[in-house]
Amino acid sequence: MSGLSLECRNCGAALVAGAGQRSARCPYCASPSVIERPPSADRPPPAFVVGYVVTPERALELARAWLERPLFAPGAFRRAAPHEITGLYAPVYLYSAATSTSYSASIGEDYTVTETYTTTDSQGRTVTRTRSRVETEWRELRGELALYVNDRVVTASRGIPNHELEGIEPYDLRALRRYRADVVSGWAAEEPSLTIEECVGLARREAEAAVGVRLAQFLPGDRHGEVTWRTGMAHEDLALTLLPIWVLPVRYAPDQPVVRLLVNGQTGRIYGKAPVSVLRVIVAVLLVLGVLAGAAAAIWLLGEYS
Amino acid sequence: MTASLAPCSRCACPIEAGDLRCAICSLPTPFDASVALQASAVIMRCRGCGAAIEYDVRVQAPRCAFCGSVVALEQSLDPIEQAESFVPFRVDPATAQGALRAWLGTRGFFRPSDLVSHSTVQSLVPTWWVAWMIDAEALVSWAADSNAGSHRSAWAPHSGQAPLSLRSLVVSASRGLTFAETSALTPGYASGDLLAAPHAMPGAVIERFDVQRSAARQIVARAVEAQSAADAVAWIPGSRYRKLEVAVLLRQLSTRRLAFPSYVLAYRYRDRLHRVVVHGQDPSIILGSSPKSALKIALFVAGLVALLAVLALVAALFARAG
C-alpha cells in the first residue's frame, strides 16, 4: 500500500498521506484534513465513532501511575516518564450475528447414598454406623441454543493486535456516535489494515467463545463436562467503528526496546507489557528462601530447647 | 416503540427514529454514507466562521477553536416514553363508588358490622396507569432438570427448542399501582377500542412511563424472557423440574405504550384510611384493603379455645371412665 499525494485545501501545499491514514495535517499551514477514499471490501466507510473522553493530561497521569505498579519491573522502567503521547482513532469492527448452536454435554446429577459401616468407638467396641455420601449420575444431553451475539469488538488494525485491544476494553458502546469526518479532524485516524476475512475470522472466534460462556450457564444439572458445540452464524454484520486510544511509547533504557502503553480514550483503562528485571526476581526469590530458612531454624531451635 | 421506519432487516423488529442500532439484535440501522469517488483531503470547516474545526476532548465534540461553536453528533436518542394510546373509561365515578360500597359488603365474616354504613370515601381519582403491550415471535431454547426419566438421581436433564408467539403481553410501567394490582386488572380490559388521546375525565391523572427508551427496552426484554420461561414450563416432561434456563431469539417484537383506566379510591373507616382500586371498564374487579373487626376476631379465638377446652374435658372424662 503506497502513500497518497494530495493537495492541502487551505494553502495548496503538497500533502502526503500514508496508505493507512484517514487523517493528515498540512506541514505548512497546520490545517487538519480528513482523507476520503472510495470504499472497498476491505475498507468500508466507517459507521460509528466513539469520541475521546480522557484528556491527554489525564492519560499521562494514569500512565505514570501504571508504570510505578509492576513490582518486578526494572527500576528505570518504574521511574520512566512517557515522553510522547499520541491520540489515535483505531479501526475496529463491531460484529453481530444470529447464532444457532448444536451442543452435547455430560450432565452430572447428584444423589445421596446412605451406607452402613463398622468401626471401633472410643472404648474399643465394634459398632455399626451409617454415613451418607454424594455420588453423581452422568447423563448425556443434546440440544439446540439460538441467540443473538452482538457487540463483539475486533481489531481491524495490524498495529493494534486483538489481545492488546482486549486489554483496554470494554468501551461503553452506549456512547456510539454516527461517524462524521469532523470527529477525526485534527487527530490521527487509521484505515483498516487487516482484510475483512481476517476480521471475520477473529469475530467468529469471539462469537463462538461467547456462545460457550452462555452455554456453560445454560446447561442444567449439578455439574457438567465434555461439552462440545458447533455454532452456525447467520445474518452476520461488521460495522466499521473508530475507537479512541492514547498511545504512549516508553523508553526506559537506551539498549532496551520501547514499551508501548495503550490507554482507552474513553475509560482510561491501560494495557502494557512491563519488562521483568531478572535481578529483582532473584532478590525476591532469595528473600523468600531466607525467610523460610529463618522460620525453619527458629522451629528447630524451639524444638531443641523444649 | 412505535414502528416509524423500515423494520430491522435481521430480526424484523421495529426501528424508531433516533436509533443507531436495532435494540434487539444490534444490527446498525441504514444510513447514507457519503462515498468519495476519488481520494481527496477534506478540511472540515466551521459553519459559523469558516475556520477549520477539530474534535475537542473537553467538550467531546468537534469544536471551532476560533468562534467556539460546537458540532452536534448524531447519537442514539433516549427520550422518556409517553403513552401513545388510551383505553377509555367505561365506568363513571358514581358507579365506581357504588362498586366500592357493594365490595365493602362482601368482605367476609370478620369485617366490622358497620363497615358499609361508617365508611366514607375521601378521594376518588380516575387514573390512567401505563404499560407496554408486547407482540413478538420468539424461538425459545430451554434446558432443565426434571423427574422424567430419572434413575438413581431424582433428576434427569432435558432440553428443547420451540417457537412461541407472544400476543398482547402487558408489562406494567406503573409507579402508583403494584404488580399484583396491575396483573389482576389487566384481563378485564377490552383492547379493541383504543383512543389516540385521553377523553374528557375531570380530575384524571395520566401516569408517565418515568423511564427512558433504553431502560424501557431492557424491562420489555426481561418481561419477554420471564414469559418465555413461564411458557417453557409446559414443555418440560415430568411433574417436577428445577434449574430451568431459557434463551430467547426474538423476532418481530412490537411494543405499544398504552394507558389503562382505573379509579384509585381512598375511604376512611373510623380513623384509618384504606386504598382501593376499581377497574375502569369492569366495576366487578376491585382490589384493595379493608379493616377487620378486632372484637369478632377475639370472640372467634375465644370460642375456638372454649371448644378445644370442652373437647379436651370430654376426652379426659372418657379416658377416666374407660
B198-212 residue pLDDT tens: 988 899 999 988 777
Q: Using CA atoms, how far apart are residues A164 and B265, in angstroms rounded to an integer?
A: 62
User: Looking at chain B from residue 141 to 160, which residues have their Cβ under 8 Å from any Cβ of chain A?
Assistant: 141, 143-145, 150-160
Q: Using CA atoms, how far apart are residues A137 and A107, in angstroms rounded to an integer?
A: 8
- Considering just the CA atoms, what is the radius of gyration of chain B in Å? 30
User: Looking at chain A from residue 167 to 196, which residues have their Cβ under 8 Å from any Cβ of chain B?
Assistant: 174-187
B212 touches chain A (CB under 8 A): no
Span B282-306, mean pLDDT?
Answer: 94
pTM: 0.80
Calculate what percentage of chain A has a pLDDT beyond 90: 62
Bridge partner list, A29: none
Question: Is A96 a residue whose pLDDT tops 90?
Answer: yes
Distances (CA, A) of B232 to A147, A267, B164, B225, B244: 16, 41, 9, 10, 9
- The rounded mean pLDDT for chain B is 89
Question: Is B221 a residue whose pLDDT tops 80?
Answer: yes
From the list A293, A278, A212, the residue with the least C-alpha distance to A75 is A278
Band the pLDDT of B43: cuts 50, 70, 90: confident
Least Cα separation, residue A17 to chain B (angstroms)? 9
Q: Using CA atoms, how far apart are residues B185 and B174, in angstroms rounded to an integer?
A: 12
B58 touches chain A (CB under 8 A): yes
Bridge partner list, A142: A104
B120 touches chain A (CB under 8 A): no
Least Cα separation, residue B272 to chain A (angstroms)? 49
Provide the pLDDT for residue B4.
58
B24: chain A residues, CB-CB within 8 Å: 148
Band the pLDDT of B59: cuts 50, 70, 90: confident
Least Cα separation, residue A96 to chain B (angstroms)? 7
Least Cα separation, residue A205 to chain B (angstroms)? 19
- Summarised one tens digit per residue, pLDDT across range A161-176 is 999 999 999 999 988 9
Bridge partner list, B145: B157, B242
- List the single residue in B28, B37, B73 with the smallest CB-CB distance to A180: B73
Q: What stretches of chain A show up as alpha helix (H) in DSSP? A: 56-67, 75-79, 162-168, 181-184, 196-218, 278-305
Least Cα separation, residue A284 to chain B (angstroms)? 43
B34: chain A residues, CB-CB within 8 Å: 45
Provide the pLDDT for residue A3.
62
A211 touches chain B (CB under 8 A): no
Provide the pLDDT for residue A2.
52
Question: Is B136 a residue whose pLDDT tops 70?
Answer: yes
Question: Is A304 a residue whose pLDDT tops 70?
Answer: yes
Span A133-143, mean pLDDT?
Answer: 96
Provide the pLDDT for residue B147.
96
Span A29-42, mean pLDDT?
Answer: 82
The 3 state secondary structure assigned to A60-91 is HHHHHHHHCCCCCCCHHHHHCCCCCCEEEEEE
B247 touches chain A (CB under 8 A): yes
- How buried is residue A12: exposed, middle or buried, by Cβ count under 10 Å (0-12/13-18/19+)? exposed
Least Cα separation, residue B16 to chain A (angstroms)? 15
- Summarised one tens digit per residue, pLDDT across range B228-259 is 999 999 999 999 999 999 999 999 988 889 99
Residue indicated by cell numbers 455420601: A133
Span B273-278, mean pLDDT?
Answer: 95
- List the single residue in B28, B39, B156 with the smallest CB-CB distance to A109: B156
Calculate what percentage of chain B has a pLDDT beyond 70: 98
Question: Is B1 a residue whose pLDDT tops 50?
Answer: no
Residue B274 phi, psi dihedral angles, 5° rounding: -130, 150
Span B298-309, mean pLDDT?
Answer: 96
Mutate to test the interface with B, among A185, A211, A233 (most CBs of B within 10 A): A185
Least Cα separation, residue A126 to chain B (angstroms)? 31
- List the single residue in B37, B43, B159 with the smallest CB-CB distance to A10: B43
Per the CB < 8 A criterion, the answer to whether B202 and B75 are in contact is: no
Band the pLDDT of B33: cuts 50, 70, 90: low
Band the pLDDT of B3: cuts 50, 70, 90: very low
Tell me the three state secondary structure of residue A196.
helix
- Summarised one tens digit per residue, pLDDT across range A173-196 is 988 989 988 888 888 899 999 999
User: Looking at chain A from residue 98 to 117, which residues have their Cβ under 8 Å from any Cβ of chain B?
Assistant: 98, 107, 109-111
Flag if A96 and B71 touch (Cβ within 8 Å): no
Flag if B55 and A219 touch (Cβ within 8 Å): no
- The rounded mean pLDDT for chain A is 90
In chain A, the largest separation of any two C-alpha atoms, in whole Å, equals 106
Q: Which stretches does DSSP call E strand in B19-176?
A: 40-42, 53-56, 61-64, 85-86, 119-146, 156-172
A215: chain B residues, CB-CB within 8 Å: none
- Measure CA B185 to chain center: 12
User: Looking at chain B from residue 248 to 287, which residues have their Cβ under 8 Å from any Cβ of chain A?
Assistant: 248-249
Question: Is B320 a residue whose pLDDT tops 50?
Answer: yes
Flag if A177 and B150 touch (Cβ within 8 Å): no
Flag if A96 and B38 touch (Cβ within 8 Å): no
Q: Using CA atoms, how far apart are residues B26 and A149, in angstroms rounded to an integer?
A: 9
- List the single residue in A32, A96, A136 with the smallest CB-CB distance to B26: A96
| Range from A131-140, A147-156, A187-196, B213-222 carrying the lowest mean pLDDT | B213-222
Flag if A186 and B145 touch (Cβ within 8 Å): no
State the cell numbers at A142.
443434546
Residue B200 phi, psi dihedral angles, 5° rounding: -65, 125
Flag if A34 and B156 touch (Cβ within 8 Å): no
ipTM of the complex: 0.79
Residue B189 phi, psi dihedral angles, 5° rounding: -90, 140
Q: Which stretches does DSSP call E strand in chain B?
A: 40-42, 53-56, 61-64, 85-86, 119-146, 156-172, 205-206, 241-269, 272-279, 286-288
- List the single residue in A37, A139, A151 with the smallest CB-CB distance to B26: A151
User: Looking at chain A from residue 267 to 306, which residues have their Cβ under 8 Å from any Cβ of chain B?
Assistant: none
B247: chain A residues, CB-CB within 8 Å: 145-147, 214, 218
